[in-house]
């Protein structure tokens, strides 16, 4: 953006408002990452049970370049301990908070925690729930960057953790390491946030400036717009009795609740589908593990049989050598 001021052309690197959603397992550092992005402590971020994030929340900050950043923090949505009702409620809440769409979905992992099988399948779940296009908007954040020994890099860490390969490949290798401690150098704080925001801009360019909008979001948005319109009409209603107005309000609420139930049902069905898919994948992984273990045992048995065979061969050879030596000795004696 540029404008004239006192005859001077002023250029400002203006960037539009962005909405980011943080997803990940409880304790991976979503709230802390949200605070790092916003540059201030807005989300509660503590290890203790009662501070665990229980519902989706949105906070906004104006970052130094004047850009408005909205961050939506979510509770651990796809863990085995979350009930479907809880997950559905929170997905609806999140979609309502991100009413103009999502500019980036940030998958948060911690370098201190091992990637669980469930986490490995998060992408599949998200694709089933929101469509495969969601991967075009994903960035992976690894928290607890301070856990690395001096000189170790994120690439060194990832070389030892091949289980992240698939996720990173799908996200076009968009990854950033975060150190969310408050007392770190400002230059380090700024750089990690800037690296993340650069990816957000890259994503926007790649998607022609269009934020991610799940079909469910569109449905929700359309219905909320109708609701707002109806509310305005009710406010303008004149000449009708209180009873009539209350009747119209009730009717409107009923229609809206029906719509919400419809959306929840759709999410429930997709969630069921993704749960079945996750179960199937986990069962396949278990089967593959069992087969590998069986093969390893077979190999071990095979090699111990092989060792026994070689030992027997060796013993036979030793016996044969002793027999030949004896024979030679006897022959020498008979010659003498």
Ligand X SMILES: Nc1nc2c(ncn2[C@@H]2O[C@H](COP(=O)(O)OP(=O)(O)OP(=O)(O)O)[C@@H](O)[C@H]2O)c(=O)[nH]1
Q: Which lies closer to ligand X via its Cβ, residue 78 or residue 220? A: 78
Q: Which lies closer to ligand X via its Cβ, residue 146 or residue 172? A: 146
Q: Which lies closer to ligand X via its Cβ, residue 93 or residue 221? A: 93
Q: Which lies closer to ligand X via its Cβ, residue 19 or residue 143? A: 143
Q: Which lies closer to ligand X via its Cβ, residue 34 or residue 211? A: 34
CB of 152 to ligand X, least distance (A): 15
Q: Which lies closer to ligand X via its Cβ, residue 54 or residue 99? A: 54
CB of 181 to ligand X, least distance (A): 5
CB of 23 to ligand X, least distance (A): 10
Point out which residues pair with 140 in neighbouring strands.
107, 175
CB of 28 to ligand X, least distance (A): 4
Contact, 23 vs 106, CB < 8 A? yes
Residue 320 has which token pair? 């044969």
Q: What is the DSSP string of 64-82?
A: TTS-EEEEEE----SSTTS
Counted residue by residue, the chain has a size of 336
CB atoms within 10 A of CB 137: 25
CB of 102 to ligand X, least distance (A): 18
CB of 203 to ligand X, least distance (A): 22
CA 20, 214, 17, 136 torsion: positive or negative? positive
Residue 311 has which token pair? 């030992």
Q: Residue ranges of the alpha helices (H) in the chain?
A: 30-38, 84-97, 117-120, 122-130, 154-160, 165-170, 186-206, 215-236, 242-335
Contact, 135 vs 123, CB < 8 A? yes
Interface contacts to ligand X, rule CB under 6 A:
24, 26-32, 45-47, 52-53, 75-76, 143-146, 178-181
């Amino acid at each position: 953006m540029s404008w004239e001021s006192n005859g001077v052309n002023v250029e400002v690197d203006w960037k539009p408002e962005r909405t980011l959603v943080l997803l990940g397992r409880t304790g991976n550092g979503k709230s802390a990452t949200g605070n790092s992005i916003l540059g201030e402590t807005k989300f509660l971020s503590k290890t203790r049970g009662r501070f665990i994030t229980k519902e989706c929340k949105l906070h906004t900050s104006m970052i130094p370049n004047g850009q408005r950043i909205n961050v939506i923090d979510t509770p651990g949505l796809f863990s085995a301990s979350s009930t479907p009702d809880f997950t559905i409620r929170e997905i609806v809440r999140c979609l309502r908070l991100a009413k103009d769409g999502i500019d980036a979905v940030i998958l948060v992992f911690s370098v201190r925690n091992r990637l669980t099988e469930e986490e490995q399948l998060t992408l599949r779940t998200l694709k089933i729930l929101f469509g495969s296009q969601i991967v075009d908007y994903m960035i992976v954040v690894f928290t607890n960057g301070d856990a690395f020994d001096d000189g170790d890099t994120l690439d060194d860490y990832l070389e030892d953790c091949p289980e992240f390969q698939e996720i990173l490949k799908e996200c076009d290798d968009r990854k950033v390491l975060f150190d969310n401690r408050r007392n770190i150098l400002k230059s380090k704080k700024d750089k990690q946030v800037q690296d993340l925001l650069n990816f957000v801009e890259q994503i926007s360019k790649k998607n022609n400036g269009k934020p991610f909008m799940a079909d469910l979001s569109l449905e929700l948005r359309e219905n909320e717009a109708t609701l707002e319109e109806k509310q305005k009409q009710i406010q303008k209603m004149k000449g009708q009795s209180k009873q009539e107005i209350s009747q119209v309000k009730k009717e409107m609420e009923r229609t809206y609740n029906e719509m919400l139930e419809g959306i929840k049902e759709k999410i429930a069905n997709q969630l069921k589908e993704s749960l079945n898919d996750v179960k199937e994948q986990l069962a396949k992984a278990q089967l593959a593990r069992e087969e590998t273990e069986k093969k390893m045992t077979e190999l071990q048995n095979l090699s111990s049989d092989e060792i026994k065979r070689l030992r027997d061969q060796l013993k036979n050879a030793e016996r044969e050598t002793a027999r030949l030596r004896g024979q030679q000795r006897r022959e020498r004696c008979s010659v003498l």
